[in-house]
Amino acid sequence: MSTQMPFEGLLLGAALTVVGLIVSWVVWRRRGASAGLRAVAWSLLPLAFGLIGLMELLASLVGQLVRFFVGLVLDPLAWAGVAVAGLAAVLWTTGRLLRRRGSGASGAAAEQKAAPGRPDAPAVGGAPSRKPQAPAGADDDFAEIEALLRKRGIT
């Protein structure tokens, strides 16, 4: 690490502090001492960064971010990466929505775990089931299904 003080960062920090102090004065006049003092505090940060030596780091970071986003706009391979990341986000969100609704494998597994010895026991997250009133001709159609449900202890 160099022992020389980087004057470019210090000059940039000082210039930004002067601009910030001018804005702070305007804020003090319009909004009062409380807002003005907070603005002065924010205005002193660039000078502190310049004195510490962080201004070069921040300038480098900003330059790298600008190059990254310019490269992102112009690179089709980068757009493919953005599309894949978007697809991953959509799939993750869809999975969360399905989980909330109780559908999917976890919902079916929860229904199968209902206590077979207790016919009135609700499935996980469900209410005790009541037998719905079926139309007169529907008894024959549902007899097989009711037998299967009784066998599993669901009704």
Q: DSSP readout, the chain?
A: ---S--HHHHHHHHHHHHHHHHHHHHHHHHH-HHHHHHHHHHHHHHHHHHHHTHHHHHHHHHHHHHHHHHHHHH-HHHHHHHHHHHHHHHHHHHHHHHHHHT-SHHHHHHHHTS-TT-TTPPPTT-PPP------TTHHHHHHHHHHHHHHHT--
pLDDT tens digits, one per residue of 40-66: 999 999 999 999 989 888 888 999 999
> Confidence class of residue 125 from pLDDT cuts 50, 70 and 90?
low
Predicted local distance difference test score (pLDDT) of residue 151: 86
Mean pLDDT of the chain: 80
Full-model pTM: 0.43
Q: In which band, very low, low, confident or very high, does the pLDDT at 95 lie, cut at 50, 70 and 90? A: very high
